[in-house]
Amino acid sequence: MMAAMQPADGSPDITSTANPRVKAVAGLRDRRDRDRTGRTIVDGAREVRRAIEAGAGIDEAFVCVPLLQGADARAAFDRLTDAGVPISTTSPKVFEKLAFGERAEGIVAVVRVPSLSLDEMHMPADPLVVVLEGVEKPGNLGAVLRSADGAGAHALIVADPRTDPFNPNVIRASAGTVFGMPLAVAPADAVIAWLRERGIRIVATRVGAAAAYTDADLRGPLAIALGSETEGLSEQWTGAGIEPVSLPMLGIADSLNVSVTAAVLLYEARRQRGLPVGV
């Protein structure tokens, strides 16, 4: 199987770190290059596989054959091949320049960033939406995406973020689920207006809110809004149609990681709506 991944003479296609394509792809670690080109970089076999399966637009991929190990890596490679994605083999040194740390498992892909426009986002009936405001750490945004995916949320809207959702570290922390989740970025006031126009109720998660999340009706068209870990939700998330709820903290700490809070509220919403049986 590995034979198919190598040119006839066994040497990699790219062996120089000065290769202009390598430089261009490595540059996608910087937000400016991502914004300018509309592309990002995906590290890791599982993440690449999920990007393909979710129908992400993949421009090209780079593999380092000696590092390509495990079922996930082989599956990712096979799917890239089946999809006709151009694949270049690289030397370990070139791959080190392309990949993040030791976790890329011999495969990275270059993916086109989809539209993040709120106006282009379409919702099913009774949508269950997550809104995350002011998030700063890519790891937190990625972890919230993973929670939202697990609980079957229909979309994630990022309000006033301080990181871009297709930062490679978001992709990695999301375990690739970012590619399966309708996603939009907008200012908080535009998000609130958008939700209100569509009759989507808003539950605002706040430390110390009198109502516990279990007391709220989480059925029907609903957005669950969460703030950043350091600052919580801004004052904009108050007023008509916005219901504050808290997640009771029963130990010595005063907050949970935002991805944990998101999961607890989302799965409670799912429970109230009737969890699918036998999943």
Which x/- pattern over 201-240 shows residues binding its own copies (rule: CB under 8 A)?
---------x-x-x--------------------------
Of 148, 156, 203, 269, which one interacts with its own copies (CB under 8 A)?
A: 148
Cβ proximity to its own copies: between 20 and 276 the closer is 276
Query: Binding to its own copies by residue 101, rule CB under 8 A?
Result: no
Query: Binding to its own copies by residue 257, rule CB under 8 A?
Result: yes
Of 22, 166, 268, 269, which one interacts with its own copies (CB under 8 A)?
A: 268
Query: Binding to its own copies by residue 10, rule CB under 8 A?
Result: no
Of 89, 90, 91, 147, which one interacts with its own copies (CB under 8 A)?
A: 147
Cβ proximity to its own copies: between 117 and 255 the closer is 255
Separation of alpha carbons 224 and 229, rounded Å: 15
Query: Binding to its own copies by residue 87, rule CB under 8 A?
Result: no
Cβ proximity to its own copies: between 87 and 256 the closer is 256
Separation of alpha carbons 45 and 103, rounded Å: 9
Query: Binding to its own copies by residue 271, rule CB under 8 A?
Result: yes
Separation of alpha carbons 141 and 258, rounded Å: 9
Helices 258-273, 138-150: inter-axial angle, 10-degree rounding? 20
Cβ proximity to its own copies: between 202 and 245 the closer is 245
Residue by residue, DSSP assigns the chain as: -GGGGS-TT---SB--TT-HHHHHHHGGGSHHHHHHHTEEEEESHHHHHHHHHTT--EEEEEE-GGG--SHHHHHHHHHHHHTT--EEEB-HHHHHHHS-TT-STTEEEEEEPPP--GGG----SS-EEEEEES---HHHHHHHHHHHHHTT-SEEEEES-SS-TT-HHHHHHTTTGGGGS-EEEE-HHHHHHHHHHTT-EEEEE-TT-SSBGGGS---SSEEEEE-BTTTBS-TTS-STTEEEEB----SS-S---HHHHHHHHHHHHHHHH-PPTT-
Of 33, 53, 96, 164, which one interacts with its own copies (CB under 8 A)?
A: 53
Query: Binding to its own copies by residue 67, rule CB under 8 A?
Result: no
Candidates 5-13, 85-93, 142-150, 157-165; binding stretch for its own copies (CB under 8 A): 142-150
Query: Binding to its own copies by residue 125, rule CB under 8 A?
Result: no
Q: How many CB atoms lie within 10 A of CB 126?
A: 12
Residues, the chain, total? 279
Candidates 1-9, 66-74, 172-180, 232-240; binding stretch for its own copies (CB under 8 A): 172-180
Of 20, 101, 199, 251, which one interacts with its own copies (CB under 8 A)?
A: 251
CB of 103 to its own copies, least distance (A): 12
Using CB under 8 A, list all residues that contact its own copies: 50, 53-54, 143, 146-153, 175-177, 179-181, 210, 212, 214, 246-253, 255-257, 259-260, 263-264, 267-268, 270-271, 275-279
